[in-house]
Copies of this chain bind each other. A is one copy, B any other.
Amino acid sequence: MTELVNGKGLSLIPKSDVKQGMKDFKSDQEVRWCPGCGDYAILAAVQSFLPELGLKRENIVFVSGIGCSSRFPYYLNTYGFHSIHGRAPAIATGLAASRPDLSVWVITGDGDALSIGGNHLIHALRRNVNLNILLFNNRIYGLTKGQYSPTSEIGKITKSTPMGSLDKPFNPISLALGAEASFVARTIDSDRKHLQSVLREATAHRGTSLVEIYQNCNIFNDNAFEQLKDPEIRDDITLRVEHGQPIQSASKAVVRSADGGIEVVDRASVAEADILVHDAHRADPSLAFALSRLDEPAFEHVPIGIFRQIDRPAYDVLMAEQMEEAKAQQGPGELSDLLLGGDTWRIG
């Protein structure tokens, strides 16, 4: 059990003794998303990534809420729980906190995670429950056929906002950093290599890893992330955020601004040495937060990658420690001791 207490990364999860392939993670259920939906790409990326972890399949659980994205668990041949709208982080918290031997994933959408489920999400983050949360952000409510979501841009015309939406959207990265998250990243459905590289770090992180995945809903919000996919410009607007690397795109770079903040400048205009080098391991999330603001206004330049990745004890481990400690101090629980604990007296 002390092994548990010191558990890091995947050390507490049983390894498979057979070699696994993508097909081992495909369930027998027919995939039912609209043709062209970005969810297909993410599913394929996850199914082909999982074998790399080499975990016992039966020790992997996918928990989801409600939404198109939340159908995800049905398509994986692992344990799965398609729960109710917004509650996946809460349900997964109970599972992960009581089962340190499981790899627990939460699949959620921008509405599921940030609208009805916002509170559970931020609390899971601050507690650092051992979860891999994949937030499929298509900036729309897909399943209910196209209302604006908490990540939709202001002025969005949708079924419920014929004159345009009024609410300033959340920036999921900023919100997570404000909620004490220990691992925060962003990737995109169309870039499998990057998506999987992020999953690699996320799964190695014991605690809550939040991965925002830009996902295209070609039916109700098509091309929401077109610029990031357009070969013409994507390399110019995608600011790669990688630990230890200068933060830059093909043509742009992030530097300190005169007023002490950070800003995006023409890469050619600065010396390599002046480009801000990313440190995802900083205890202080302030710089990561500043980076998360760089995609305002949308898509002139978008930081993609792992914003923050710090070591903090995971919730399940802390809980286990207290149980250990209690047993060590008082010995394992004995029902008779318990009942006889108070002031007792005998009659007859």
Binding site for B on A (CB under 8 A): 115-119, 122-123, 126-128, 150, 163-164, 166-171, 174-180, 256, 260-262, 276, 284-287, 289-290, 293, 296, 312, 315, 318-319, 322, 325-326
Contact = CB atoms under 8 A, between A and B. Distances in A.
Contact of A177 (B116, B178, B326): B178
Contacts of A123: 115, 118, 150, 167
Contacts of A166: 127, 315, 318-319, 322
Contacts of A122: 118, 122, 170, 175
Contacts of A296: 284
Contacts of A127: 166-168
Contacts of A326: 163
A117 B120 CA distance: 11
The CB with the most chain B CB atoms within 10 A, among A170, A284, A326, is that of A284
A328 B315 CA distance: 56
Given A127-B168, A166-B127, A170-B126, A286 B261 contact: yes
A62 to B, nearest CB: 24
A202 to B, nearest CB: 19
The CB with the most chain B CB atoms within 10 A, among A115, A175, A176, A325, is that of A175
B293 A286 contact: yes
A126 B168 contact: yes
Nearest to A164: B322
A176 to B, nearest CB: 7
Contacts of A171: 178, 180
Nearest to A175: B178
B180 A179 contact: no
A256 B260 contact: yes
Contact of A284 (B116, B118, B261): B261
Contact of A126 (B167, B177, B276, B293): B167
A195 to B, nearest CB: 24
A289 B128 CA distance: 21
A77 to B, nearest CB: 34
Contacts of A126: 150, 167-170
A322 B163 contact: yes
B179 A175 contact: yes
A180 B168 contact: yes
Nearest to A161: B322
B289 A276 contact: no
A322 B165 CA distance: 10
A167 B93 CA distance: 13
Nearest to A255: B260
B289 A286 contact: yes
The CB with the most chain B CB atoms within 10 A, among A128, A178, A276, is that of A178
A284 B262 CA distance: 10
Contact of A179 (B117, B178, B289): B178
Contact of A178 (B176, B284, B290): B176
